């Protein structure tokens, strides 16, 4: 089908979109065979398009994790919280990799928000200033295994200024001999500092390991007075 009368196209579209009413001249032309054909063709094209793209399945937005970056005596600390509570405390260098990890592991949208993270940020600042010894904040544990959760909860029971061994945590959760598994669970602590895995050390006085590096573990224990300032 060859098409003529293209000068009418804009007017037909304007009419179909409701941008402008049809002029008397257009109405007259639309009564002609060519006009009827064009109007039908436009109606069909627009109709098929609207039906198809109107019916597209739109993904349900994923929940949001809000995050904030703060500077501290141990360097940059990134924190993230969902509606369910705190989900991450991280010492990562890269904000972009922090965001990417959250999106991938937690299937969330990520948005910086000082307002939505104000509570934890406030408490962390007080902690670093030596004005707070324990945290009063909801932790979103939905993304950890039940074993890890038990280990993390046991670690939160160790007060600031003290340290316990991996084996002691294992005993406390009823898994004597499970100190290796405890070490692994603490090594993947998603919310270090707030869950104080740095207070869990190797038997015999060695520091053991730490997600953020032993230097940070040492500094945290000094802030809490569990290590001598020169230690």
d(CA 221, CA 225): 6
Q: How far apart are CB 22 and other proteins at their closest, in Å?
A: 15
For the stretch 112-117, contacts whose Cβ atoms lie closer than 8 Å and that sit 24 or more positions apart, written own/partner, are 112/66, 112/67, 112/68, 112/69, 113/66, 113/67, 113/68, 114/68, 116/66, 116/81, 117/66, 117/67, 117/68, 117/79, 117/80, 117/81
Q: How far is the CB of 44 from other proteins (least distance, A)?
A: 5
Nearer Cβ to other proteins (114/130): 114
Between 95 and 168, CB nearer to other proteins = 95
Q: Are 85 and 144 in contact (CB under 8 A)?
A: no
Q: Which is nearer to other proteins, 62 or 134 (CB)?
A: 62
φ/ψ (deg, to 5) at 216: -70, -40
CB of 200 to other proteins, least distance (A): 35
Other beta carbons within 10 angstroms of residue 137's beta carbon come to 16
Residues interacting with other proteins, by CB under 8 A?
Answer: 1, 3, 9-10, 13-14, 17, 19, 40-42, 44-46, 48-59, 61-62, 64, 66, 99, 103, 109-116
Residue whose CB is less far from other proteins, 108 or 195: 108
- Please say if 68 is a catalytic residue: no
Nearest to 89 by CA among 135, 116, 120: 120
- Of the candidates 197, 200, 201, 221, the residue annotated as catalytic is 197
What token pair was written down for 30? 């639309």
Closest approach of other proteins to the CB of residue 58, in Å: 4
Give Cα separations from 34 to 7, 18, 23, 37 (angstroms). 13, 22, 17, 5
Q: Which residues are catalytic?
A: 197
């Amino acid at each position: 089908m060859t098409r003529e009368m293209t000068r009418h196209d804009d007017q037909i579209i304007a009419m179909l979109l409701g941008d402008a009413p049809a002029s008397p001249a257009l109405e007259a032309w639309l009564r002609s065979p060519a006009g009827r054909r064009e109007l039908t063709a436009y109606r069909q094209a627009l109709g098929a398009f609207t039906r198809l793209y109107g019916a597209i399945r739109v993904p349900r937005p994923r929940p949001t994790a809000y995050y904030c970056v703060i500077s501290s005596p141990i360097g940059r600390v990134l924190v993230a919280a969902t509606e369910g509570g705190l989900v991450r405390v991280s010492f990562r260098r890269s904000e972009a990799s922090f965001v990417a990890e959250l999106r991938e592991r937690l299937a969330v949208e990520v948005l910086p928000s000082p307002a939505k993270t104000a509570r934890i940020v406030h408490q962390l600042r007080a902690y670093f200033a030596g004005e707070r010894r324990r945290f009063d904040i909801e932790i979103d544990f939905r993304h950890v295994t039940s074993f890890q959760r038990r280990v993390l909860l046991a670690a939160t029971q160790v007060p600031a200024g003290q340290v316990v061994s991996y084996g002691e945590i294992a005993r406390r959760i009823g898994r004597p001999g499970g100190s290796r598994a405890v070490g692994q669970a603490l090594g993947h602590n998603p919310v270090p500092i707030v869950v104080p895995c740095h207070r869990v050390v190797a038997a015999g006085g060695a520091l053991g390991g730490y997600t953020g590096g032993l230097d940070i573990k040492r500094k945290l224990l000094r802030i809490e007075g569990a290590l001598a300032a020169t230690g």
